[in-house]
């Protein structure tokens, strides 16, 4: 088990494991003679994380706006996520619902009551993003915490969100912070598909936007796994349908994993990878069926250069 399920769970674990084998800041250009808008410093949260480790450095209270993230896999592969919860729904309930969902998987997927718990978790939370660094890896990114309120930053390295989240208190007027410059954008869209740029930087910063809506609304995450040159989307989907063991197209080496971003939200990801072909995938369980999105076709071959 790789523990890369992202508040997600069950079947997804098997999927990711098999495949796992498988800010720069641009200052505001607007400077009217009388404009004296100053750019405020961006809060930075540094998270060392794995199954048994969760150490967060940085401020726990700040104004609304962009927040910079650093994630380091320490003691194993790790993941952390930032969410906000609807009034009256507690972090404990979120954990319970995700746990119920994960435990409900049988040979035919999750049970009805499991899916109900999953829906309750999704209906009562907004996912702002996070990072899932592998052991020793350092990933950077940023999220937009634009609304005042209480946010939960939690260890998402295992199937169920770990207890003892860090509480982030966001209050006051929205801060004017430097935007994060990105050189490419990937979009998770309806019916679990990828849109956006097919050429991404091997070293740089990308934007990840979730534009899913309506009945197809779902959280998604980014998983970039290197594949052999010439590998097609069909090769990857055929493997999910019929393959076992290690995918023949897999190339060992570093990958990039985000944690989940909910509908209408976006985050940035900053990383360094080898150049080459990669499969851009998401294994979040579909809210209707519990099937990981990649199995439903949320796979796109992209070129990193
Ligand atoms: Cu997805």
Q: Calculate mean pLDDT across residues 129-157.
A: 98
Are the C-beta atoms of residues 279 and 236 closer than 8 Å to each other?
A: yes
Asked whether residue 19 is domain-assigned, the answer is yes
* 37 alpha carbon – ligand 1 mean position (Å): 39
Structural domain total, the chain: 1
Go through 74-94 and write b for each residue having 16 or more CB atoms within 10 A of its CB, e for each that does not. Answer: bebbbbbbbbbbeeeeebebb
Q: Is the pLDDT of residue 22 over 80?
A: no
Asked whether residue 141 is domain-assigned, the answer is yes
Asked whether residue 35 is domain-assigned, the answer is no
Residues near ion ligand 1 (CB < 5 Å) are 220, 282, 284, 293
Asked whether residue 33 is domain-assigned, the answer is no
Domain span at 250: 11-24+42-304
What percent of the chain is predicted at pLDDT more than 70?
A: 88
Asked whether residue 5 is domain-assigned, the answer is no
Q: For the chain, give the mean pLDDT.
A: 90
* 173 alpha carbon – ligand 1 mean position (Å): 32
Asked whether residue 237 is domain-assigned, the answer is yes
* 27 alpha carbon – ligand 1 mean position (Å): 33
Q: Is the pLDDT of residue 7 over 80?
A: no
Asked whether residue 4 is domain-assigned, the answer is no
* 202 alpha carbon – ligand 1 mean position (Å): 22
Asked whether residue 34 is domain-assigned, the answer is no
First-to-final CA distance of the chain = 30
Q: Express each pLDDT in 179-219 by its tens digit.
A: 999 999 999 998 899 999 999 999 999 999 999 999 899 99
């Amino acid at each position: 088990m790789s523990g890369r399920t992202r508040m997600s769970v069950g079947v997804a674990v098997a999927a990711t494991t098999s495949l796992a084998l498988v800010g720069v800041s641009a200052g505001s250009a607007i400077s009217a003679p009388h404009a004296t808008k100053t750019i405020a410093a961006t809060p930075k949260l540094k998270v060392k994380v794995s199954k048994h480790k969760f150490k967060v450095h940085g401020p726990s209270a700040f104004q609304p706006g962009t927040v910079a993230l650093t994630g380091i896999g320490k003691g194993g592969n790790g993941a952390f996520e930032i969410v906000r919860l609807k009034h009256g729904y507690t972090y404990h309930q979120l954990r319970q619902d995700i746990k119920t969902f994960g435990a409900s998987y049988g040979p035919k997927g999750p049970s009805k009551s499991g899916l109900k718990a999953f829906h309750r978790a999704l209906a009562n939370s907004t996912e702002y993003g996070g990072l899932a660094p592998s052991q020793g890896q350092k990933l950077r990114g940023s999220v937009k915490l634009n609304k005042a309120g209480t946010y939960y930053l939690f260890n998402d390295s295992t199937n169920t969100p770990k207890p003892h989240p860090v509480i982030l208190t966001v209050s006051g007027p929205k801060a004017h912070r430097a935007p994060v410059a990105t050189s490419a954008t990937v979009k998770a869209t309806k019916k679990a598909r990828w849109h956006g740029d097919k050429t991404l930087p091997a070293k740089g910063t990308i934007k990840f936007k979730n534009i899913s809506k309506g009945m197809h609304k779902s959280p998604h995450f980014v998983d970039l796994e290197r594949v052999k040159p010439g590998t097609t989307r069909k090769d990857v989907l055929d493997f999910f349908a019929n393959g076992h063991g290690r995918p023949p197209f897999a190339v060992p080496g570093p990958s990039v994993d985000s944690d989940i971003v909910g509908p209408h939200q976006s985050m940035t990801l900053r990383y360094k990878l080898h150049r080459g072909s990669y499969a851009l995938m998401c294994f979040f369980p579909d809210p209707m069926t519990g099937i990981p999105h990649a199995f439903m076709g949320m796979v796109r071959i992209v070129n990193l250069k």
